[in-house]
Chains A and B, each alone.
Chain A
Amino acid sequence: MSEKLTAPLPPLPPVRQWLPPLVIAWLVPGGGHFYLKRYYRGAILGGCTAVLFILGLLMRGYLFEPMTGDLLTTIIYVGGAIADRATGLLYLLAKIFGYNAPDVAGHSIDYGTKFLVIAGLFNILAMVDAFEIAAGRKD
């Protein structure tokens, strides 16, 4: 008796309709929304991602490299590496310009590391949002 009535999702449109905004959204935070002419959303999402990423760098946060071991280590390091790389060009530029802060203890560095990861999670949210707009599943 607990059936939920949900509207079926519309069929997925052709790849060329949603792939470009998705890739642009990954490479340039907020770029997918600008491509789709959602300037206000793009500015807020891109601005929040970029500012948080830059603050993370200024606090000497650690950019994760994938590492496996016990379950917790794998989740933290692989998950962190995926989230860091989700910031697209911000991550690539940081690496190109030689950013390589060590993974050491300290409250400021810890916050910086979290800022970098959360910037990546923001961009994943922005990518999903851009995809849904491009696929016609969201206004």
Chain B
Amino acid sequence: MKMTLTHFEATLILAVFISAVLAVVTKKTDEERFRYGMRSLGWFFVTVFGLAWLMYLGHR
């Protein structure tokens, strides 16, 4: 059995897990963890979509 993910799926999975782990180990309260995790995930999305558009426009 071999799993194949697209670039977007793999990046999304990494973003979710990295945000969750960093939120748990760096923040003290559940509220802080939730806010940090959501903010981190949001920045991952912004960066991924930004870089994707840059690469797309750079190769036209």
Q: Which residues of A contact B (CB under 8 A)?
A: 41, 44-45, 48, 51-52, 55, 58-60, 107-108, 111, 114-115, 118, 122, 125-126, 128-129, 139
Residue pairs across A and B with CB atoms within 8 Å: the count is: 48
Give 13 A-B pairs besides A52-B17, A126-B21 with Cβ atoms closer than 8 angstroms.
A41-B25, A44-B24, A58-B1, A58-B2, A58-B3, A59-B3, A59-B5, A107-B7, A115-B10, A115-B13, A118-B14, A125-B21, A128-B25
Look across to chain A and name the residue whose beta carbon is closest to the beta carbon of B7. Answer: A107
Q: Which residues of B contact A (CB under 8 A)?
A: 1-5, 7, 10, 13-14, 17-18, 20-21, 24-25, 28
Given the contacts A55-B3, A59-B2, A118-B14, A48 and B25 also touching, CB distance less than 8 Å:
no
How far, in Å, is B34 (CB) from chain A's closest CB? 12
How far, in Å, is A3 (CB) from chain B's closest CB? 25
Separation of A118 and B11 alpha carbons in the complex (Å): 12
Report whether B2 and A60 are in contact in the complex, using a CB–CB cutoff of 8 Å.
yes
How far, in Å, is B40 (CB) from chain A's closest CB? 13
19 contacts across the A-B interface (CB closer than 8 A): A44-B24, A45-B21, A48-B17, A51-B17, A52-B13, A55-B3, A59-B5, A60-B2, A108-B2, A108-B3, A108-B5, A111-B7, A115-B14, A118-B17, A118-B18, A122-B21, A125-B25, A126-B21, A139-B28
